[in-house]
Structure 1
Amino acid sequence: MPSLAESGGRVDGRVDGGEGSGELSAPRLRPGTPERAGLDPGELDCLVREFRRLTDGDQPWAAGAVLVAGRGPVIAVEEAAGWAVRYRAYDEETDTGVELPRGERVPATTRTPFDLASLTKLFTSVAAVQQLERGTLGIDARVGAYLPGFTAAEHGITVRHLLTHTSGLPPELPLYDCPDDRARFALLRAGKPVTAPGRAYGYSDLNMLLLQQVLERITRRPLDVLVRDGITRPLGMTATGFGPCPDAAATEDQRRPWAKADRGMLRGTVHDENAWALGGVAGHAGLFSTAGDLAVFCRTLLAGGSYGTARILGPDHVALLLSPPGLGFALDRPWFMGALAGGGAAGHTGFTGTSLVLDPSTDTFLVLLANTVHPRRRPPDSVPRAAAATRLARAVRAVRRA
């Protein structure tokens, strides 16, 4: 897939009978100068310099990374740095990565796909809101109406609880330790909340796994098909899909005790152990994508659900998705949104090093994809994410002051 700069911001997708086909088109992304985007060039120069340093040194923040940032329909920054594949393995005795010879490494480019990890949740959430718009799903309907026999149904968990992470369910279940699909399904079916539903926020992968079950039950289609037909194909996001993705950036030399499975160095198969155990298609993880494709996703939501002649949601339902407390999307989180937080910014992060932020108040977006878990997972560090978002916020403010 060509980069946005190479393609002029165009994509090859066509409307595939999506709801609202034939309505007025929304501007597509195009490359342009900071001035054309209404952003301060000095702040963006600083953003690019700081971004390039993230992959420098013997123990960088990430082996490789890609950055796309813009305002309105204009891409003002599109950069790649470092390596999509740098290490052969992780040496636990020296706590260092075993580097490949330079000629065998794979450089990161603007077209490099990354394992999105929990950014997958955003696509599951959009797929759910599409069903809300069509009237096939009720936001305050109890999960038991769609999934009889699930323990969650006995506790009054609703679709809204799942989308807002207020179900009370634990963060995860060890599906990766189950011997077969039947045992995995039985464990998921038996999952019960640890706190009363609706009482407090508690981030849980199980919310999106149950939501996946609901969506597949009411549509009679698997999640990968719902995402493809309802989101990525209409928007021309041809580099986005569930794995395997052989050209993706490498992730982890996944071994116990630091991981939950012994799988070796991973490239092109999902990093998340539960998503892997479920065959690579899961509501909480499993998608691979490029920064350019995710910029299209951000632009679509900022434009009220339309991109070109495609419409994946109506404006009212985009507003529902992005209004407090957010349906699947995190809102105004300074720890990774920096100074973009505070005005209704929405986004998410992924364990592998991925993140995106879109800010309706300034019509800006920032996508930062990285393989921070290559060659081994480390304690999460979102300081670079927040710093990049703050640079973008300053780029808007500097223009406003001028």
Structure 2
Amino acid sequence: MTYPQTKLALHRLVTDGVVPGVSYSFIDGDRVETGVIGQAALVPQTEPLRPGMLYDVASLTKVVGTLSVVLQLLAQGRLHLTDSVSDWLPQWQDSRVTIQHLLTHTSGITGYIPHRDQLAAPELTAALLKLHVGPTFNRQMVYADVNYIFLGWIVEQILQQPIQTVAQQRVLTPLGMQHSTFTPTNAEQCVPTAVTAERGVIRGMVHDPKGLVLQRRCGSAGLFSTVADLTRFCQAYLRPEAAATVLPPQWVHHLLSDWTPTHQAGRSLGWALTTAQWPTAHRVIWHSGFTGTYLVIDPLMQQAMVFLTNRVHPIAPNEPYLDQRNAVISTYLAEKSRQ
């Protein structure tokens, strides 16, 4: 297990200045190879990237934390894909939107919230619940954080605890993800994200503005994790029967299906779908985070990749990274077929 071409692509991201640093792992069944490349920080001074550092994984929170808990509730019959959001969140007025719409980003929820990032949590909560459903409802996949913020609030209604507290208790702790947390206590162990006029160097605090406001009630962002812990998560996905109380196998095994209304939008429950070509064409699940993170999981081949970067350091959003990220994924999917 060497993945020379993928490693070369990762090194090129750093040497070409696309990202300051990369932490990664390749998973082949029980075999795991990890590495770090480059810098954790460029400002206020250069700081080498160290193994075991915590990353703000941004939207990986959706699939690691929120989706895992939702799948548990679905398996227990305490929640159903056909439930209307308004059944659980009465302030939300459009009864057409279901749990399945939220999970697949086909809810069509849209709208503009003036001065959103300056609102306090109660005002932001009220504003989000007053958004409306647009023309993409039930037709197109339009990725939006609000879907998983709503899912987090629905979990809270059922379990009577904030989503991040529930995710810690029901996912991170039982999977042995001992370094993962929503509340880092040592900022120096965290890889910094952007430098902003309002917040300075963001380090050890959630980068996402909505996550910063909503705190433990945010199901779309807020998790900090390490390569080792996310490797454990991916391994649990490859063998859900060994972690059945956390990742219900009857649901995990169906995540390679397109769950959108058209069955053609390339989206499962939570995860995005792509294709690997060997030994025959088959689906693979993956998800990314705004800060420069992603997971790729191939259950059929018992393989996965964890890829963590600090692409928004020191300046967000660093859009050239996106094409490079997709190229790395393509290289990995092609190369792992030849291992």
TM-score (norm 2): 0.89
CA 1:198–1:280 in 2, change beyond 3 Å: closer, same or farther? same
1:19-168 matches, cutoff 5 A:
34=1, 41=2, 44-56=3-15, 60-75=17-32, 77-88=33-44, 100=45, 105-122=46-63, 123-151=65-93, 154-168=94-108
Q: Distance in 2 between matches of 1:365 and 1:233?
A: 21
Q: Residues 192 and 202 of structure 2 are in contact (CA less than 8 Å); yes or no, is this contact kept in structure 1?
A: yes
Match of 1:222 in 2: 162
- Structure 1 moving runs of 4+ over 4 Å: 171-175, 337-342
Q: Residues 157 and 167 of structure 1 are in contact (CA less than 8 Å); yes or no, is this contact kept in structure 2?
A: yes
1:324 aligned onto 2:265 = no
> Gaps (5+ residues) in structure 1?
1-33, 35-40, 89-99, 256-261
CA 1:113–1:147 in 2, change beyond 3 Å: closer, same or farther? same
> Gaps (5+ residues) in structure 2?
260-267
Which of 195, 201, 222 is the aligned partner of 1:253? 195
1:385 aligned onto 2:325 = yes
- Structure 1 position 342, deviation (Å): 5.4
Q: Residues 116 and 289 of structure 1 are in contact (CA less than 8 Å); yes or no, is this contact kept in structure 2?
A: yes
Aligned with 2:22: secondary structure?
Answer: strand
Aligned with 2:105: secondary structure?
Answer: coil
Q: Distance in 2 between matches of 1:175 and 1:327?
A: 31
CA 1:393–1:186 in 2, change beyond 3 Å: closer, same or farther? closer
1:358 aligned onto 2:314 = no
CA 1:235–1:303 in 2, change beyond 3 Å: closer, same or farther? same
Q: Residues 277 and 337 of structure 2 are in contact (CA less than 8 Å); yes or no, is this contact kept in structure 1?
A: no
Deviations 1:146-185 (A, max 9, x none): 111223xx24110000001110012874674444222112
CA 1:386–1:216 in 2, change beyond 3 Å: closer, same or farther? same
1:276 aligned onto 2:276 = no
Aligned with 1:279: secondary structure?
Answer: helix
CA 1:380–1:327 in 2, change beyond 3 Å: closer, same or farther? farther
CA 1:288–1:306 in 2, change beyond 3 Å: closer, same or farther? same
TM-score (norm 1): 0.75
Q: Distance in 2 between matches of 1:369 and 1:173?
A: 31
Aligned with 1:376: secondary structure?
Answer: coil
Q: CA RMSD in A?
A: 2.4
Aligned with 1:365: secondary structure?
Answer: strand
Q: Distance in 1 between matches of 2:325 and 2:242?
A: 27
Match of 1:234 in 2: 174
Structure with the greater alpha carbon radius of gyration: 1
Greater displacement, 221-230 / 187-196 = 187-196
Aligned with 1:82: secondary structure?
Answer: strand
Which of 166, 190, 200 is the aligned partner of 1:264? 200
The alignment of Structure 1 onto Structure 2 pairs a total of residues equal to 327
Match of 1:194 in 2: 134
Same amino acid, percent of matched pairs: 30
Q: Residues 19 and 321 of structure 2 are in contact (CA less than 8 Å); yes or no, is this contact kept in structure 1?
A: no
- Structure 1 position 305, deviation (Å): 4.9
1:304 aligned onto 2:304 = no
Q: Distance in 1 between matches of 2:30 and 2:245?
A: 16
Q: Distance in 2 between matches of 1:73 and 1:164?
A: 31
CA 1:65–1:174 in 2, change beyond 3 Å: closer, same or farther? farther
CA 1:341–1:233 in 2, change beyond 3 Å: closer, same or farther? farther
1:398 aligned onto 2:317 = no
Aligned with 1:332: secondary structure?
Answer: strand
Match of 2:311 in 1: 372
